[in-house]
Amino acid sequence: MELKLRDHQVDVITTLRENFKKGIRSQLLYAPTGFGKTEVAIYLMKATAENNKRAAIMMDRLVLVDQTSQRLSRYHLRHGVFQAGHPFWNPNERLQVCSAQTMEARPNFPATDLLIVDECHISRKQTIEYIEANPNMKVIGLTATPFTKGLGEIYDTVVTGATTGSLVEKKWLTPLKVYIAKEIDMTGAKKVAGEWSADEVQSRGMQITGDIVNEWIKKTLEVFGRPRKTIVFCAGVNHGNQLVEEFSRSGYNFVSISYKDNDSFKRYAIEDFARPDTNIHGLIATDILTRGFDVPDVVIGVSARPFSKSLSSHIQQMGRVMRPYSGKEFALWLDHGGNYLRFRDDWDEIFEEGVQELDTKTEKAKKEPTEREKKQSKCPACGYLWPRAADSCPACGHVKERRLIETVPGELAELVKTKRVIYEDRQRFYSELLYYANQRSYNPHWASHKYREKFGVWPKGLYETTTHPSLSTLSWIKSKNIAYAKSRRKSA
């Protein structure tokens, strides 16, 4: 098989190489699920070997080691597998696929010119120490969720391969249709380090098992006319087993997999489920399906595990159902965990803009939407997520009732935020940027680039008027200046 790259993969390879030439030794490549990060890694490894140098890619799960080794073999690339007892064990090969666990257990890992760290948001102490101990080695971290504390101290810069929005637009990813379903009630639940405790999540998730099953039956028949391939992210092992029983009573075949099952059973279940003619309607798991799971004909995802702060987990879960497949126009996302609304603002920003900088802080628990906000966020007729500023439901056509109040006799004001208000907010922000640029004699295009940095689009249709910047805009500019200065210091 010939290794063929897409345009966005070629572009990011060019950027990575240019950064290395500038002396930026350690880079983090952010790209959504479906971008093809592994193909980019394989191309760079192949190029390294052709220059008579050594390259290694490190995986933190054994199943990913095998998958990556198989890909290299399909491209006819000689390589060794640095994993205890593996049949491809050969430390002398220029290309190595490494088990992080084996590398940690064997300090004599051969020196390499390029190290690629897969799922680099999972920071491992020994990996960090190896990077620090080899200052002449080039490093690329790969992840779709670069939100782990300390990544900014390991990697000198972040490169955005593509935004989720751009990949959806080009049909490299499938869009989501989100329904806000009956939510698992986490009111007053105990937290551990800012995240809801596993026991609390499971016990409360099990209280709405029947609702989860009934909602799935309703939507798969309503939208598709028949059962469609589904993955369910449950709240725990017992919850998964309970869901299997409830689905079975309704006549549907769901299989639950967990850390308690042996590797052979999990591998067999996933391989069976991946077949086009499988008789398994759905797989159920907590986190096993969030990494290394690639079954593109899955069209329904069910979120039944609430997260208080883990945006990473939420994004990883949604990514499992967004892979494209022939005839797959969209994927359904049935949210019982409340995660979509909890992380909506962050997700919208990442969807449009990607990730521009690495944070040295950890993820923080998100503020819970109020009951009023939850109610206003979904269609009262079908539960579909209201697009911002929409007047009617795209799913069922239900027209939102406009709630009006009198401000002065004869004058009316809407309580809902309209498209006009959104336009005015963006015009004000652009005008404030223009004022700031004029005061400092910046390049005339500075304001346009900053506007695009925030919203992901150029300020088309906006007026070149100026107005004194607000404190929030000044704070935003300051944060961007600090991030830029920090990246320059690291580069130097």
pLDDT tens across 143-154, in order?
A: 998 888 888 889
Sort 402 into a burial class: Cβ within 10 Å, 0-12 / 13-18 / 19+. exposed
- Residue 411: pLDDT over 60: no
What's the pLDDT at 294? 84
What's the pLDDT at 439? 86
- Characterize the bridge pairing of strands 191-192 and 195-196: antiparallel
pLDDT tens across 427-480, in order?
A: 889 889 998 988 888 876 888 888 888 887 788 777 788 888 888 888 888 888
Averaged pLDDT of the chain: 87
pTM for the whole structure: 0.76
Say whether 251 sits in a helix, a strand or coil.
coil
Helix or strand run (H / E) with residue 406: strand 404-408
What's the pLDDT at 53? 96
Q: Is the CATH number of domain 7-162 3.40.50.300?
A: yes
Number of H helices, E strands in the chain: 18, 17
Higher pLDDT, 404 or 307: 307
Say whether 334 sits in a helix, a strand or coil.
strand
Helix or strand run (H / E) with residue 454: helix 446-455
pLDDT tens across 266-301, in order?
A: 889 999 999 999 999 999 998 888 776 889 999 999
What's the pLDDT at 409? 46
pLDDT tens across 73-96, in order?
A: 999 999 999 988 888 898 899 999
Q: Tell me, which fold does domain 168-354+362-376 have in CATH?
A: Rossmann fold (3.40.50)
pLDDT tens across 312-368, in order?
A: 899 999 999 999 999 999 999 999 999 999 999 889 888 888 888 886 556 778 888
Give the residue-averaged pLDDT of 126-141: 91
pLDDT tens across 21-35, in order?
A: 999 999 999 999 889
What's the pLDDT at 386? 84
Q: Angle at CA 333, nearest 5°, toward 331 and 335?
A: 180
pLDDT tens across 206-250, in order?
A: 999 999 999 999 999 999 999 999 999 999 999 999 999 999 999
- Residue 404: pLDDT over 50: no
- Residue 384: pLDDT over 80: yes
Please enumerate in sequence order all residues whose Cβ is within 8 A of that of 422, keeping only pairs 6 or more positions apart, or say none: 388, 389
Q: In the chain, where are the structural domains located?
A: 7-162, 168-354+362-376, 419-475
- Answer yes or no: same fold for 7-162 and 168-354+362-376: yes
Q: Phi, psi at residue 369, to the nearest 5°?
A: -60, 145
- Residue 256: pLDDT over 50: yes
What's the pLDDT at 376? 86
Token pair of 360 as six digits = 């040295």
What's the pLDDT at 65? 87
pLDDT tens across 154-164, in order?
A: 999 999 988 89
- Residue 42: pLDDT over 60: yes
For 54, how many CA atoms within 13 A lie in the half-sphere containing its CB? 16
Give the residue-averaged pLDDT of 46-58: 95
